[in-house]
Structure 1
């Protein structure tokens, strides 16, 4: 039997070929034949002086692989056959457009996601698109403005793209703060708001109707307070139940009716909270019972709750269906309770406005006593269209405040609720300016350098700390010299550098926008070099940069500059950046 015929292939061995597979035949002259076999058989074959098992492939009509004009022997020896085909899924066309957000950009997701709807909050994470720079990652909160389920249209937008599957298409309500490289973007859709504090349930004790002003202390301090749009800026998480009926917290028991189911709370210097009930004349007494006073609350508060992005990865309890958890955004707005000095400063402010905001000063005082706010400065400005009250805030102890945080949003809402409804108010977060000081110090005879320089460093960090500086307060060279000279053991001081490094500067390439300083610009400011009007360093006769401390570091209040309102600046020294305070000994 002839092992080869125009429509019959006898292979050099026994192979597994799928019934619905394909074969590709490449002849010596590079002619390609692609066909699906009409029959595959496994036979024993003897030809060319040898015998063995072979797989015979019958090709369909019109797919002859060897012709009468072909040289039989060389064609058989040099023909290559690919037989074990594998089906490949159709790859999707890559989309390379950056993700910038806004209602104009329709963003195609990589699959079909049910449950998405307009008004839903999501978190966008990815690498920012910065020319000449890579690896800068960022996350931000965004709201969906529209969600559609569809297929991608062809180039002329008239018909569906052949073979495309249904995808989800979304639009964001606003433009994102930055544009992201699409291949690095992850959009987190299962987003929930989380606040600090662990839930506790406990029995406070037993009520005694014979006792007036009965009190109980919570066993798990400190009590958690969450941000709220009220004059104090917080709401307590404490709920008290008496005989399984909820009683409500009030600011004072005075003038309450004798049947009022209310209580007040007191917190001592150690953070322990005590619940106090009425005396039967102002507020109801507790009914007699056994362990009938119960409390439900959360404990934990303060700056410790301002965790970094992606720091949370575990849940104390895992609800059904939850696989893992992460916080793409940092937490912000968590502040420690007021100390006595802060309370002395803020208490008088609380009685000035009386929760009615009329003057510009009222807005400033109201913001300063709002929980979580450390500093505030209000000024009246024009944005070119109208007069408005511009309010710049800084967090207590300079805690981070994000524009999407509860603290920022609740303060903004409270200003609207308690202020003039016809008065435009613009709320902004302070712009940081780091003070840079380099000084030489000579110590008096018999004084050691190390103790003296330690005292000088402490005195400077205290005098120019966040607590002692105000928004828009300039830094004077005379202040620096006075603080250093007042330290015991200092003979004299020679200040070499006094500069301020602003958080942002005007972006000349994009008018009306602000940008972060480059490392070279920061290094130039730290060096203390004097600049000319164009920003270039001034040189002495030897070609070296001229250095001289500024007599005054200007720290700006909120102002309208080039049709853009800039927030007030806050300048202070921080021990977190030790390179900003350099002290050398003068021998």
Structure 2
């Protein structure tokens, strides 16, 4: 029997050559792909049996062989039993140590971390959240015209119950102006007036128009008619209508008023008598009468011997009109309309003279009006005619833009028309677009302004990238242009300690965890620590490893422990320079805060710690995004070997996938080679570490980082993957010995754990759901699950990257579509319990 025998059974080796049989047993117990390592070389029973076997060997004296059959109460066997306990303990810890030495079987995160470091890979520590902060500048008189918000301006969150406030700091200096607080979209077009129009838009909310008011729609055709002109269609190009409804601030059109008319404009389509040139809309605010409208019937007067009043009828060819009462609001140039049953005519006032008269058995004031034409004036009589006068022009030149802006615009969501500002918005500025979408939902989008210019017609056209993803009602769109990008993390200054030139690899711990990591496109991991180390006021450089550093290189490395403590380590004089001797000459400026703690909701980041002069308020219009948690143990098992496969480069299609999967903030990734009819294109589809589609900024950063690590001649597209929510219906039978609610909850939890976060382009079969549900303790039987959300009942297929028609424009050219990821959700999961 050899000392290194590896038998795991309770019998002695039958192989005289040693323990080859035992080694075979261990190999059989440790097949490739196992999650645990079986390396118990000497458990208690096996060790004691081997020692008893050695005592019973033929080479031993008879009295020694007789001991092998004694019980553990025999002193000699008790001693062997004690050593068997020792071997069992040693064997247990040997197995544990061996298990931590393999990437697949290690259970300690620090073991995986150390193995990854041997490959040049550092576990991802997480990434701080990012938010777009919109600053409002004071508009009161005396306020500064330009407000400069310095880089690093801190703004805290309003903490939720039980939470601590989190600090966000701006990443760059911002020049803010009051004119850029909230810029409205150019939401108007010229208002058409044609046959059949039954409503009029007013560019105001204080028009004063009420229901049952009268409006006159008239153009330059009628206004240009001169006295004595022969009658033509120009005399009839006007419309007089009654207002039946007044809608102030209609849906999606704030700041406008819509008047509904009692009947559409026009006489009949075959004779289009509708104003077309320089059309104006007037409200006729007073309804008056002609002088003499209340004159008594002369035949009722006994003393009179006349049957009618002299000059009571309006004279043919006359352009004079006597309006009852003194009406100073009637002025030259205004419009009035005469109306009586069966007849209506519009006239423009040329002159006005206040007067009085005594006739028709009446005496009183009147207003003598001279009209522009006499056409049909004598068709009216004093008793029945109404005079609609005192015209006031309404702002009806414009109407709200009827089409949507954003993704459905002809040029897509790249271009947006705004009300011009002074000065014009500068290029490269971060902006936030808010508005109501075509589905009547409020939306917030952050993007970057790439160009802006004012046009001759008073419109400021801006170009943005990334393009707007939503289609908006133009009247609801507001562009917040005083926007600064801020990342989660509070700045801390710390004296790390004193340098000692005698110490090799001097190390110092940062006092406050966790160290903030911010997104960066300059490294393959996509994140760098927000840390600055200065020695005697000279900044030293952070490197990934000291191995390649020279003896004079002022460099340091950053390492994190499982406790969250961050350690800064300097060189030994061979690999990196040693610290110079001094007193408290090593200082660090860093930020603390990372991961989910910075996942702020909209309007939660709004407490400025230091408010710049001239700033009225600040808030985040959208939720914080792009944060990522620390890399988990299971994620590290998968991503650590990718460093060796890619070497921070992307050459093959698999390299693209491995590179993206190792990027901070990316949880799942897939690369496909898609033929577009001309050339093969690498389509990289990614999901965020939270399992949702990543933000545009994260996709853009990954795209830029990937471009620096690949052959740029090869076409590539990076797209956010599409998450498809699916459901399942199944019935289970529960063992009577188990509690039904607990078993049902366990089944739901098992299904959501197994299929709530599936890999990209991975199908889901009913049989797979059946196996998971049946494995739950307490489940006696399960019906075949019915899957919902796909084209068939027994298999849901998630598609990889492919070409397809755009959803918004089926007739347009095809576009690249991302890969899909199926996700079983609790809302669509129906687990029913049937009686046994």
Cα offset for 1:69?
5.7
Q: What pairs up with 1:390-469 in 2 under 5 angstroms?
A: 390-403=683-696, 405=697, 407-466=698-757, 469=758
Q: What pairs up with 1:225-236 in 2 under 5 angstroms?
A: 225-229=517-521, 230-236=523-529
Which residue in 1 is equivalent to 2:803?
560
Of 126, 141, 162, 2:447 maps to 141
TM-score (norm 2): 0.51
Q: What pairs up with 1:65-80 in 2 under 5 angstroms?
A: 65-67=354-356, 74-76=363-365
TM-score (norm 1): 0.71
Contact map agreement 2:723 2:820 (CA 8 A) in 1: yes
Cα offset for 1:209?
2.4
Cα offset for 1:275?
0.9
Contact map agreement 1:500 1:571 (CA 8 A) in 2: no
CA separation in 2, counterparts of 1:197 and 1:89? 55
Q: Deviations over 1:297-342 (max 9, x none)?
A: 1111113434344443332221222211222333322100102221
Q: What pairs up with 1:36-435 in 2 under 5 angstroms?
A: 64-67=353-356, 74-76=363-365, 93-98=398-403, 100=405, 109-110=418-419, 112-130=421-439, 134-141=440-447, 143=449, 145-148=451-454, 152=457, 169-173=460-464, 176-229=468-521, 230-403=523-696, 405=697, 407-435=698-726
Q: Deviations over 1:384-440 (max 9, x none)?
A: 22211111111113154122x1x2112101221111111000111111122312221
CA separation in 2, counterparts of 1:108 and 1:394? 33
Contact map agreement 1:307 1:330 (CA 8 A) in 2: yes
Cα offset for 1:483?
1.1
- The structure, 1 or 2, with the larger RCO (C-alpha pairs under 8 Å, 6+ apart) is 2
CA separation in 1, counterparts of 2:330 and 2:725? 74
Contact map agreement 1:310 1:327 (CA 8 A) in 2: yes
Greater shift after overlay, 90-99 or 115-124? 90-99
Contact map agreement 1:146 1:172 (CA 8 A) in 2: yes
Gaps of at least 5 residues in structure 2 are: 1-285, 292-322, 332-350, 369-389, 806-813
Which residue in 1 is equivalent to 2:63?
none
Distance 1:476 1:107, change over 3 A: closer
CA separation in 2, counterparts of 1:99 and 1:144? 22
Residues 1:586 and 2:829 aligned together = no
Cα offset for 1:118?
4.2
Distance 1:465 1:34, change over 3 A: closer
Q: Deviations over 1:153-182 (max 9, x none)?
A: xxxxxxxxxxxxxx5522335763333222
Cα offset for 1:257?
1.7
Which of the pair has more CA radius of gyration?
A: 2
SS, match of residue 620 in structure 2: coil
Cα offset for 1:581?
4.4
Which residue in 2 is equivalent to 1:478?
767
Distance 1:334 1:173, change over 3 A: closer
Contact map agreement 2:535 2:585 (CA 8 A) in 1: yes
Q: Deviations over 1:520-544 (max 9, x none)?
A: xxxxxxxxxxx8xxxxxxxxxxxxx
Contact map agreement 2:552 2:573 (CA 8 A) in 1: yes
Cα offset for 1:233?
1.0
CA separation in 1, counterparts of 2:742 and 2:405? 55
CA separation in 2, counterparts of 1:103 and 1:321? 40
SS, match of residue 503 in structure 2: coil
Contact map agreement 1:303 1:334 (CA 8 A) in 2: yes
Contact map agreement 2:357 2:364 (CA 8 A) in 1: no
Contact map agreement 2:733 2:779 (CA 8 A) in 1: yes
Contact map agreement 1:432 1:571 (CA 8 A) in 2: yes
Which residue in 2 is equivalent to 1:487?
776
CA separation in 2, counterparts of 1:25 and 1:411? 71
Cα offset for 1:140?
4.6
CA separation in 1, counterparts of 2:393 and 2:591? 55
Contact map agreement 1:142 1:176 (CA 8 A) in 2: no
CA separation in 1, counterparts of 2:583 and 2:471? 62
Which residue in 2 is equivalent to 1:570?
821
Gaps of at least 5 residues in structure 1 are: 1-23, 37-61, 80-84, 153-166, 502-530, 532-548
Contact map agreement 1:333 1:399 (CA 8 A) in 2: no
Cα offset for 1:68?
5.5
Cα offset for 1:379?
1.2
Contact map agreement 1:221 1:300 (CA 8 A) in 2: yes
Greater shift after overlay, 171-180 or 560-569? 171-180
CA separation in 2, counterparts of 1:145 and 1:176? 15
Contact map agreement 1:390 1:426 (CA 8 A) in 2: yes
Distance 1:70 1:279, change over 3 A: farther
Cα offset for 1:346?
0.6
Which residue in 2 is equivalent to 1:53?
none
Cα offset for 1:381?
0.7
Cα offset for 1:370?
1.0
Greater shift after overlay, 262-271 or 68-77? 68-77
Cα offset for 1:557?
1.6
Which residue in 2 is equivalent to 1:512?
none
Distance 1:460 1:379, change over 3 A: same
Q: Over the residues paired in the alignment, what is the CA RMSD in angstroms?
A: 3.4
Distance 1:144 1:35, change over 3 A: farther
Distance 1:199 1:560, change over 3 A: same
Cα offset for 1:92?
8.2
SS, match of residue 333 in structure 1: coil
Which residue in 2 is equivalent to 1:161?
none
The total of aligned residue pairs comes to: 465
CA separation in 2, counterparts of 1:100 and 1:347? 45
